[in-house]
């Protein structure tokens, strides 16, 4: 199977693997262009278990990717800070995972634009993103169980 036809498992970050919304006053930080919530969000699951599953799936031929939106109210400087914070968060909490692709994109960018095949899978807490996805899309409540099934 060549690289172009491989299935990619995509993850949103905020509200999916990172508990951005669990940071007290998270919206105020974003409105004040402070990347604190992106830097300090707690993981929403056991990251060592997620990393184990993702590494195992990669070895069996899956690609692993991130599609995460920037803040709705960001300017170029803040967007750069948020992008850096998100990448650092991934390095800290999923250090052993070598992502095939990381897309930190403008708020509202259609995530289905990143799907490479109709077999691509998306894990996202936002219902609209799941409905618009061209492959299989799942809510966040059973990520580890779904990955175990693959």
Residue ranges and CATH numbers for the domains of the chain are 3-149 (3.40.50.1000)
**25 Cβ partners below 8 Å, 6+ apart?**
none
What is the pLDDT tens value at each position of the chain, 150 positions in all? 444 459 999 999 999 999 999 999 999 999 999 999 999 999 999 999 999 999 999 999 999 999 999 999 899 999 999 999 999 999 999 999 999 999 999 999 999 999 999 999 999 999 999 999 998 999 999 999 999 999
pTM: 0.94
């Amino acid at each position: 199977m060549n690289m172009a036809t491989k299935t990619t498992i995509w993850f949103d970050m905020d509200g999916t693997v990172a508990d951005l919304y669990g940071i007290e006053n998270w919206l105020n930080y974003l409105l004040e262009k402070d990347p604190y919530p992106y830097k300090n969000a707690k993981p929403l699951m056991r990251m060592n278990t997620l990393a184990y599953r993702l590494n195992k799936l990669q070895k069996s031929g899956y690609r692993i990717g991130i599609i995460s939106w920037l803040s709705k109210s960001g300017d170029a400087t803040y967007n750069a800070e948020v992008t850096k914070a998100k990448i650092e968060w991934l390095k800290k909490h999923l250090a052993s995972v070598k992502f095939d692709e990381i897309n930190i994109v403008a708020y509202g960018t259609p995530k289905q634009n990143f799907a490479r095949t109709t077999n691509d899978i998306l894990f996202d807490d936002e219902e609209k993103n799941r409905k618009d996805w061209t492959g299989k899309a799942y809510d966040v409540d059973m990520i580890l169980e779904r990955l175990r099934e693959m």
